Amino acid sequence: MAILDIISVPDPILRRKARKVTDFGKDFQMLVTNMIDTMRDAPGVGLAAPQVAVSQRVVVIEYAEDDEEEVEENADTPAAPKKLYVLVNPEIIEKSEEMVLGIEGCLSVPDLVGEVDRHERITVKALNRHGQPTKIKAEGWLARIFQHEIDHLEGIIYTDRTDKVWKPRDDEETPLD
Ligand code: NI
């Protein structure tokens, strides 16, 4: 297990358009495993390769639906298990017209959060870590995390998409990715 260093703005690697992954060999498998370990250690709900200074199109996301507040409030709902996603060369192929505002943070932008408008529902086409094609429909917070991570592969940081950025209060918890 290796924890990788997470780079922060204004590191120029975060601003590059990342390269497509074509080699799914041993080095790439090691990168994915280390990214998962690094995300869990941070802790974060997502991590894109450029955040660990690797300009390749791969993101890891780990999220349980009940991290979402609305579900948490319903005590009768059993805890949803966390689900791990590894998306290689992801592409958003469908997005809802409906947009939704939410508060985001980013492991590469320390000590800030911001309010960002995102598509409520998206469909993502990607390869898994072994190069097999997969398609995922996501909505709500999961859709938000996917959009945030896929932005990282284009060199886009959430702060590019909003003017409303602030230092969170101590009791203000925001999932980071
Ligand atoms: Ni981020």
Going by their DSSP bridges, the two strands 46-48 and 83-95 should be labelled as unpaired
Q: What CATH number does the domain containing 41 carry?
A: 3.90.45.10
- The tokens describing 85, both together, are 């996603």
148 falls within a domain: yes
| Tens digits of residue pLDDT in 129-164 | 999 999 999 999 999 999 999 999 999 999 999 999
pLDDT of residue 71: 47
CB 49 within 8 A of CB 60: no
Low-confidence stretches of the chain (pLDDT beneath 70):
66-78, 175
Domain residues for 116? 12-166
6 falls within a domain: no
pLDDT of residue 78: 65
pLDDT of residue 121: 98
Q: Could you give the C-alpha distances from 130 to 22, 122, 126, in angstroms and in order?
A: 11, 23, 11
Q: How many angstroms does the Cα of residue 98 sit away from the middle of ligand 1?
A: 22
5 falls within a domain: no
Count of CB atoms situated within 10 Å of the CB of 20: 11
- In total, how many domains does the chain have? 1
Q: How many angstroms does the Cα of residue 139 sit away from the middle of ligand 1?
A: 18
pLDDT of residue 66: 63
CA atoms within 13 A on the CB side of 45: 23
72 falls within a domain: yes
What whole-number distance in Å separates Cα of residue 103 and Cα of residue 19? 29
Catalytic residue among 97, 149, 154, 173: 149
What's the distance, Cα to Cα, between the start and end of the chain in Å?
20
174 falls within a domain: no
pLDDT of residue 68: 52
Whether residue 149 lies in the annotated active site: yes
